[in-house]
Every structure is written in structure tokens, then in C-alpha cells.
Amino acid sequence: MGDTKKPIFDFYILKRLFVYVKPYKKYLFLAFIFTLGLAVVSPLRPSIIGNMVDEYIDKGQNADALLYWTIVIIGMLILEAVFQFFTTFFANLLAQSLIKDIRIKLFKHMMSFKMKYFDQTPIGSVVTRIVSDLEAISEIFSQGLINMFKDILVLVTIIVWMFLSNSLLTVFVLLPIPLLLIATRIFAKAMKKAYQKESVEVNRLNTFVQERLTGMSILQLFNREEVEKERFAEINARHRQAHVDTIWANSIFFPVVEFLTSLSIAFLIVFSAWSISSGLSEAADSTGTIVKFTLWVNMLYRPIRQLADKFNVLQRGVVRAERVFKTLDRDEVIQDAGEIRNLDFQKDIQFDKVWFAYQDEDWVLKDINLTIKPNQTVAFVGATGAGKSSIVNLLSRFYEYQKGTITIGETDIRDVDLTYLRQNISIVLQDVFLFSDTIINNITLGDKNISREQVIEAAKAVGAHDFIMKLPNNYDYEIGERGGVLSTGQQQLLAFIRAYVYNPHILILDEATSSVDNESEELIQKATEKLTVGRTSIVIAHRLSTIQRADKIIVLDQGRVMEEGSHQELLAKDGFYKNLYEKQFLGDEE
């Protein structure tokens, strides 16, 4: 059997969107009320104008009556403008209120995703979901749905007025409508396909631009500018073609509508002329009838033409909403079923037969068994890819292990409330992330419970106070995107202050001194000694000189624990650690 054909329009997605409308029903109701007024007043004008022609021009000149009804027509136009204003106002108010709620929900949902999702999803794609896709969805309500309702109402009202005025003439005027319905269906299919392609290309373009801007220094360092220009031109060309495809469908459909409008007017004039010459009084019986039918025909096809525009907006919004709902439906969240919020961290941290893989069964950690005593400083060493960072990621529950248990005392970390667990763990990463904000805000991360005095005290303890005071505005200095105006060592020191002020029970230093100069490393070593006092500390470093004072050193190789002990004990074993030690220090001497 062949594949099931997808419908031209996905009403299920629209139904899901209407769930978010419920808190703002009053805006929807008011928009519909003013739309209804617009749909009633607009088709009434041609009827009044036709009667004016018959009564006050053809049958007899009456300047006063003509002036009176002209003022009435002007009043109706002003009333239509007022109705249009309030329709647009409440439609946009509804759209922006609704999108605000969806964006908050989407962002909150994505904040709870496992790190695996962000490892596999380009940042450009994430930005597209939260910004571009949601703006397209807002247009469903601000420009699409309510205006479509108005156009349909106007359409129905005009046809009713036409039939009430002259049914025979109406039948002839509406003869081209079946052709229009066929054209509309073909157009709808073409537009859905075009907007799906456009959505993909917008996402691809955003991803490409975001990644290249972030990695600009690498591109320039390796002279990749010309190559990336060519790649950008290729992606941009596909993006352009996707938009051209949508324009192409529009450029065919709208001339068809214009042609059918002209055809209806032609039918009106030809049939009216024939009926008058033949004495067929049931047809066009007056000049006023021809005038109002001509106006009605133009008004009839205008909403049809606008319906096509609004359908474009609706189609684009539904395509983007489908992608947003796919993200909302993703089951990528970290399981937070833990309820324990009062845990004694002065207990052993135990890894018992832990197995972990980022993908399927491509094991990164294999049968890990180790114990970290409270207030110990434990260092993990090993080659790149040995699994050092993976261990601390599991302890912080950035990733979920597949086998075994990790406990603090007798408590499985999965039984601990996730927020509470992370409140008691601070990490200083190798690649420090700083926000485009002030120094103090990067340290406190907006936590109102941390005072300025605490930050200054921590900075003095870490040894960073002097360099901060030399900066313009001191602790209120704006450090730029990702702290670009600071050196790597200074960025690391800010990360240490951040860890210090949060006063964690468990401190993790992940390659914290692997990429800083000797002076900064000396400051960090002093800060480390102060920071590790009275708390369990886990240190990961390539420089073995930085962890010789650790209470325990655990050597990892290809995801397994090969050795553990103090620096002197491991040297005495003449095994993996001694081999690493001799390679590093002999290399330094050379």
C-alpha cells in the first residue's frame, strides 16, 4: 500500500494552538465582534450606492438627498475604519499574549532538556524555534485566522445581498467561481510544500550563521574566509529559492483571481446589456443594479484574493507550529522524581558498577567502582577521552547513566531533588562561560541572596579583587559576549569566585588550570587550596603538577579505573600513573 497522503492543512496543530487561547478569550471575542460589524457594514455600501443612482440620479435629480446619502456613505467608511482598527488591535494583542506564553513554556521545557539534546542540536536551530518559528505562529492570529473569518463573512454576506437583489444576475456573475475553487486547491497544495521547504532553509541558514559568527577566530586563523563565503552563498541561494517557490505560487494564483474578477464583470455587463435589449426585466432592471453588482463583484473577489494571502500566513504558521510542538513533545527532560531536600553531604560518594554511554552501547565509562570520602580532594587523571569529565557530568546529573548506582551515603542521587543536588555542587569548567553582563552579575547569576560584600570577600580570597578594581566601573564592568574582553586566566578566576560565593558541599574543578598562564595558575592554585578546605573536591587536570597534593588520585584509561592512591603510592606502583608522570615531566624538561 502507498503512503497515506497528508492533508493540505493540519487542523490538529491548529486545535493545539487554541489551547493557549483560553486565557485570552476576551481578546478573541472582541476581535470577532468587530470583525462581524465590518462584515455587515462593508457589503451594505454598494446597495446604498445603487439605490442612490436609481432614486436620485436616474429617476430625478435631488441634490439634498444625494448629499445626505453621500454623508451616510462617508460615515460608513469611517465606521469601517474604526471596526478595522479594533479588529487589528485585539487580534495582535491576542497573538502576542499567546506567543509570550508559548515562548515561556518552550524555553522552560528546553531548559530541562538533557545535555545530550544540546550536544546533538545546533544552537541556530534552537534560536529559530524560540524566535522565528514563534513569530510565524503569532501571525496565525494577528493576520491569518481572524482576517480569514472576516473575509468569509464578507463573502457570504455579499452573496446573500446579491441573491436578495437579483438572483438571476447573481447566477451569471458567479459562473467563474468553480474555476476559482479548483485554482485555490492547487495553490494550497503548492504553498504547503513551499513553506515546508522554506522552514527547513531558514533553520539551515540560522544555524550556519550562528556557528560561523561564534567560530570567527578559527575561520580567520586557518584562512577559511573564501571557503565559508562560498558555502554561505550556496546556503543563501537555497534559502532564496525556497522563498522564490512561495512567490512563484503567488504570482500564478493572483493573476488567475484578477482574470476571474474581470470575467465576472464581463458576464455582468454582457448579460445586462443583452437582458435590457431583450426586455428581460428579471435581469438588470436599472443602472443602479449594474453599479451595485459591479461593486459587489470587486468586493467578492477581494476577500477571495485576501483569503489566499491569509491562507499563506496560516499555512506558514502551522508548519512552524508543527516544529515547535515537536520540540515541546520531546521526552528529553532529565527525570526529576527525587524528593529528598535534606541530605548529609558529609558522607561517602560511591560509584558502584556504573556504566555510561552517550550513544547506545558505545560505552564511555565501564564498570566504574570508586569511593570519594567527605572533605577529600580527589583527582582524576588520564588521556583525552578516558572518561574524566563524564564522571563529574554524571554526579551533577547532566547525563543519566545506564547501569549501576551513584550514592551519597546511602542515598541514590536520583532520589535527591535535582535543584537541591545542583545547589550543593559547584563546577569550574575548562571552558568558562560568561554572559554579556557585568562582572558581579556573572558571579551571582542574578541570585539576590548573594550580597555585593560577599562577592568582594570571595574575590579577595581568590586573589581576583586587584585586577577587578583596575577595570572601569570595577565590579559593574560590562565584560562583553562570553567575557571576550578578559584574558583566559581572568575568566577562570571569575569562575572560581562564582563557585566560592555559592559555598557548595562538593566542588568540581574540570581542567580548571589547563589553559592559563603561569601567573594565573599560581593564583588559581592558591584559590584552590582555600576553596577546597572543608568540602569534598574533585579535580580533573592534564597537568599532574597541580594535583600532587590530592588525597587520592584515580587513573582512568578507556573508561575504566586502572589505579588509585596518593601521588607517592601511584609512583611506587610503577604503572599507568608513573608512565603519565614521566612522559609529562620528561616532555617539559625537553
pLDDT digits (tens, 9 = 90+) for 184-222: 777 767 776 777 777 778 778 877 877 777 667 667 666
Contact by Cβ (8 Å): 92, 139: no
- CATH 1.20.1560.10 occupies which residues in the chain? 11-329
Confidence at residue 308, expressed as pLDDT on a 0 to 100 scale: 67
Cell of 373: 570520602
Asked whether the predicted pLDDT for residue 560 surpasses 80, the reply is yes
Q: How far apart (Å, rounded) are the C-alpha atoms in residues 326 and 266?
A: 50
CA dihedral sign, ordered 42, 44, 47, 50: negative
Give the residue with greater pLDDT, 89 vs 165. Answer: 89
Q: Pairing mode, if any, of strands 425-428 and 411-412?
A: unpaired
Q: What is the pTM of this model?
A: 0.66
Calculate the alpha carbon distances from 231 to 126, 222, 240, 241 in Å.
21, 16, 14, 15
For domain 11-329, say whether CATH 1.20.1560.10 is its number.
yes
H helices present in 112-165, as ranges: 115-120, 123-128, 134-139, 145-165
Higher local confidence (pLDDT), 436 or 77: 77
379-431 confidence digits (pLDDT tens): 888 877 788 888 888 888 888 888 999 998 888 988 888 888 888 888 887 77
Taking a C-beta distance cutoff of 8 angstroms, is the pair 49, 292 a contact? Answer: yes
Question: Which superfamily does 349-589 belong to?
Answer: P-loop containing nucleotide triphosphate hydrolases (3.40.50.300)
Q: Which amino acid is at 505?
A: H
Helix-helix angle 25-53:145-165, to 10 degrees: 30
Where does CATH 3.40.50.300 sit in the chain? 349-589
CA-nearest of 532, 471, 544 to 506 is 532
Bin 561: left if φ > 0, else alpha if -120 < ψ < 50, else beta: beta
Q: Is 163 exposed, middle or buried (0-12, 13-18, 19+ CB in 10 A)?
A: middle
